[in-house]
Structure 1
Amino acid sequence: MRARLRLALVVLAATLPLAVRAEVPMRGHGGPVRALVVTPDGRKALSGSFDASAILWSVEDGAALRILRIHDGAVNAVALLPDGGLLTGGEDGRIALWRDGAAPERLLGLHAGPVSGLAVAPDGRSVASSSWDGTARVTPLDGTAPVVREGHRGPVNGVAFLPDGRLVTAGYDATVRIWPETGPPVTVQTEAPVNAVAVAPDGEIAAAGADGHLRLLRPDGTVRASLEIGPRPVVALALSPDGRGIAAATVGGAVAVVDRAGARVRLTLVGPGLPVWSLAFRGADELITGGGDRLVRRWDLATGEPIGPLAMNRPADPLAAFAGDRGAQVFRACEACHTLTPDGGNRAGPTLHGVFGRRIATVPDYPYSAAFRQLDIVWNAETIARLFEIGPARFTPGTKMPEQTVTAAEDRAALVRFLEQATR
C-alpha cells in the first residue's frame, strides 16, 4: 500500500510542473517576437526576435532548448529544413544555417539590407530570402550561386514557393510577383503595400495588405477573393498544415482565423492589445503567436481562448512617473527596444541610461554593427534632436535602428527634455 502511494506521489510530482508550465506563455525574448515556425510534429517551435536572438522551444512545457545568437540586429525570419536544420535571417542581411553546434554551420548569403522573409523550396534543396534591399534570392544548399530576383520598387517584405517551385514575392510597392524559371514575373498590383505572403498546398496565394485586407490569388495571379480583416495593417500570415485555414495577424493585436475555401473569418483571437508580429499553426487545432509583449503564446482554435493566462504580471511602468509629459508620450514608440534605468539593461537597442555625453557605440555588451562603431558622434540635445529630424538611416548610416522620424519640432524638443531627465 505504502509503495503504491509513494509511486503515485512520484508520478504526480513529475507531471505537475509540466502541466503548470504548459499553460504559461513562452517567455525569454528581450524584444518583440518577429518570426515563428513550428516543427511538423508540433513538439518544437523556433522564434526570432528584435533582441537579435532566436530561441528553439519545447512547446508542450514551454522550455527554451537552445538560444541562437549570430545576428547583428533583429532576427526577422526563421525557417526549417526537411533534415532538421534551422534557418535564421537577420537585420544584418545574413542568413545562418544551424544544426547541433553553438555556432551556425555556415552563412548562406548576404543581402545589402535586412532579411524580411525565408522560405524553403518544395524539394528542400534551396532557400529563398526576401530583403529590404529590394531583391529576393534563391540560394541552393549545394553551394552554387544564388539566383537574384530584382524588380520590386522598394523593400521586398515576404517570399514563398508555389508547389511547382516558382517563387512568389511580396513588396512594399503594393505588388505580388510570381517568378517563372526564366523571363519576367507575373505582377499583381494591389491597393496597398503587401507585408507577407503564404502559399497553400493547392497553390493559392494569400497576401497580407497594409490596408487591412487579405487577398487570395490563384497560381496564375488572378484574384479569387478579398476580405477585410480589420482597419489595421495585416502584418503576418500562416497556413494550417492541411491548407484549409489561414491565420492573419494585425498590428492592432487581433488575429483572424479564416476559412480559406469560403473566404470568411471563422474566428477572431483577441490578445492583450499589442501588435502580433508572427504566428504559426500547431496542427489544425492550435495556433502559436508572437508579438510586442515579447511572449510566445498558444491558442486553442476550438474555443478561441488562450492556453494559459492572457494577462501576465508585468514590471512597473517605467514611464508612470512621467504621466502627462509629452516627451514621455513620444518615447512610447521607443520603449520596446530601449530601457532608461541603470538596471534596465539592453534590449533590441542599447540602454539609454547615461546617454547624454556618451560617445556613440560604447554601451558594454551591445552588438553594434561595424559601420556604427566608426561614427564620430557624442549624444547630446542637438545630436539626439537631429537623429529624429532626418532619421537614423541618414544621421547614423549602418544603424540597426528602425527608420523613424519625429516630424514636429515641438515633439522633438519634448522628447529631448524627457530623455535628459529620465536617463540621468
Structure 2
Amino acid sequence: MSSLFIKKRPEGPGKKRRGEVKDAADKKKKKKTVNLREEIESDSDTEVAPTRRRKEDEEEELDETAQEKKLRLAKEYLRQLQEQEEERLEDESEDVIAHRLQESVLEQRGKLQRPLAKELIPPEPAEIRLLRGHQGPVTCLVITPDDKHVFSGSKDCSIIKWSISDGKKVHKIPGGRKGCEDRHVGHTTHVLCMALSSDGKYLASGDRNKLIFIWNAETCENLHKFQGHRDAVSGLSFQKGTYQLFSVSHDRSVKVWNVAENSYIETLFGHQDCITGLDSLSRERCVTSGGRDGTVRVWKIAEETQLVFSGHDGSIDCIRLINEEHMVSGADDGSLAIWNVSKKKPLARIKAAHGRNGEAGLEQPYWVSAVAAALNSDVVVSGSHDGNVRLWQCAQGFRGLQPLCTIPLVGFVNSLQFSSSADFLIAGVGQEHRLGRWWRIKEAKNGLYIIPFKKKQTLAEGS
C-alpha cells in the first residue's frame, strides 16, 4: 500500500506568502493615497494664502489715510533720491581718484603747475595777524600738513606750537641757558632750523650747538637727540612720505638720518663754504645753498653724486623747491633766481629784487634772506629787510619772474612758508638776521605774521 506524500516547497528568504503580498500591496496603495491627499491639501493651502494676503493688503490700503499715503510716497521718493545720490558719489569718487593719480604722476615728473598767480588777491593790512611770544627774533617756522598749527623757533632758544585759527599758544618748549645742556631737555643756543615729517608725526629742530632734537609733534615730548655735526646745524628737511631726515651744517656737510630708527645713515661732502639752506620733496635727493662758495647743489642720495649750479654773485642764503624739477634761491647780492635741476645756469634771475639801500654811489641791494613757493604752482615769495614781502609769478616754463604784489612787513624776514592749500602765508620776522647780528631794526616786532589770501574763483563761486 502506497502512501501519498505531499512535499511542501521551501520558501526562499526573499519570497512571501500570497496573502502577505496582497496585504503589503493594499498598505502601499493606502500610503500613496494619504501622500496624495497631503500634497493636495498643501497645494490648496498655498492657493488660499495669497488670496488671504491680498485681502489683508486691501484692508490695510483702505485703512490708510490720505496723510499716511503722502508720507509713504514721500519716504519712497527720498529713498530713490538717496540711491541716485549714492550712485553719483561713487562715480565722482572714481573721477577724483583718477584725477589724483594723474596729478601724482605729473608731480613726480615736475610737470604739475597749478595756475595760482591769477587767482590770488592780496590782503588788506588790517587782515594780517601778528603772533607774539618769543623774546628773540624768529629764525624758522614750519606749518603742519593739516594747516591747523605752526611751530616757530627763535634766537631765545625756545620752540612754540601755535594754533593758526585763534593764534593761541598750544605748547612751548622753553630754551635753556648755555652750560646747562646736561640738565635741560631742549635747546640752549639759537634755534636755526626746523622740519616736520609729511604725516605730521615728527618735528626736528637744529641749533648753533651742533645738535638736532627730535620731538613728538603732537605732545612736544622729546624723543631723541642726534649728534654728529661739527658746527651749527643750519638746515633740516624730511624726505616726503618717509622718516628720512636730511641735515646741513656750517661744517659744509650733508648728513642723512633715519628718525624712525634713531639711526645715522651717511655723510656727504662737496660745498666749500658754510651750507645755509636745504630743501627736499618726495625723491631721494635734496637741494642745498652753499653760502659764499656761490653754488647751488642737487644731491642724489642713492647714487652718492651731486650736481653743481652757479649763477649768483654773492652768498646764497636760502633755497626752496617749487616742484621736483624747479627751485628758487636768494642771495645777499639781492638777486632772486629760478633753476631747473637739469640746467647748470638759472632759467631766470632778478637783480636787486628788493631794491637798494644806502646813499648815492654807495647803494647796496637788500639781501634776500628768505624764499618760499606754493608747491607745484607758479607763485614764489621772497623776504628781506626792506619792509616788504614780495610775491612773484613764474612765467611759462619758469623762464621769467614778474612781480605780483608787495605786502608791508617791518623787520628781517627770516622764514617764509605757504600753507598746503595756499590760502595763507606765514612769515617769521625778527629784529635781526637769523644767522648774525650785522644790523638791528629796533622798530621791528619779533613774531609770526599770518598773511591770508582770497581767491577770485572762490569769491565768484560764493557770489
> TM-score, length-normalised on structure 1?
0.62
- 1:275 lines up with 2:396 in the alignment: no
Q: C-alpha distance in 1, partners of 2:240/2:220?
A: 28
Q: Which protein shows a greater Rg? A: 2
Counterpart check, 1:149 vs 2:268: yes
Do structure 1's residue 249 and structure 2's residue 383 form an aligned pair? yes
3-state SS of 1:185 partner: strand
Structure 2 residue aligned with 1:266: 404
Range 96-105 or range 167-176, more displaced: 96-105
Give, as a single letter, the amino acid of the residue that structure 1 aligns with 2:239: A
Counterpart check, 1:182 vs 2:303: yes
- Letter matched to residue 120 of structure 1: F
Higher mean C-alpha displacement, 212-221 vs 102-111: 102-111
Q: Deviations over 1:370-418 (max 9, x none)?
A: xxxxxxxxxxxxxxxxxxxxxxxxxxxxxxxxxxxxxxxxxxxxxxxxx
- Match of 2:347, SS state, is strand
- Going from structure 1 to structure 2, the CA distance change for 1:299 and 1:156 (only over 3 Å counts) comes to same
Q: 1:182 to 1:242 in 2, by over 3 A?
A: closer
Taking the TM superposition and a 5 Å limit, the aligned residue runs for 1:351-390 are: none
Q: Equivalent of 2:284, from 140, 160, 165?
A: 165
Residue 26 in structure 1 maps to residue 95 in structure 2: no
State the Cα distance separating 1:240 from its structure 2 match.
1.2
Deviation readout 1:198-240 (Å, 9 max, x if unpaired): 1122420111111111111101143211123222111111111
The amino acid across from 2:319 in the alignment is V
**Percent of aligned positions that are identical:** 27
SS of equivalent residue, structure 1 residue 133: coil
Partner of 1:77: 193
- Which 5+ residue runs of structure 1 have no aligned equivalent? 1-21, 304-424
Aligned residue number for residue 126 of structure 1: 244
Structure with the higher helix share, 1 or 2: 2
Change in Cα spacing, 1:202 to 1:103, as seen in structure 2 (3 Å) is closer
Instruction: Report the number of matched residues.
Output: 282
**Alignment pair present for 1:220 and 2:342:** yes
Aligned partner (choices 92, 107, 110) of residue 209 of structure 2: 92
Letter of the 1:123 partner, please give it.
Answer: G
Is the contact made by 1:112 and 1:133 (CA closer than 8 Å) also made in structure 2? yes
- Give the Cα separation in 2 of the matches to 1:285 and 1:82: 19
TM-score by length of 2: 0.57
1:300 to 452, 456, 460: 452
Rounded to whole Å, the distance in 1 between the matches of 2:394 and 2:220 is 40
Residue 276 of structure 2 aligns to a residue whose secondary structure is: strand
Once residues 89 and 119 of structure 1 are traced to their aligned partners in structure 2, the CA distance between those partners, rounded to angstroms, is: 11
Residue of 357, 370, 379 corresponding to 1:236:
370
Write out per-residue CA displacement over residues 339-372 of structure 1, whole angstroms, 9 at most, x where no aligned residue.
Answer: xxxxxxxxxxxxxxxxxxxxxxxxxxxxxxxxxx
CA distance in 1, matches of 2:207, 2:425: 24
Asked if 1:291 corresponds to 2:423, the answer is no
**Structure 1: distance between partners of 2:162 and 2:141:** 11
Q: CA RMSD in A?
A: 2.2
Structure 1 residue 102: Cα displacement: 5.5
Q: CA deviation at 1:31?
A: 0.5
Indicate how the Cα distance of structure 1 residues 196 and 247 shifts in structure 2: closer, same or farther if over 3 A, else same. Answer: same
Letter in 1 for 2:428: G
SS at match of 1:28: coil
Q: CA deviation at 1:133?
A: 1.4
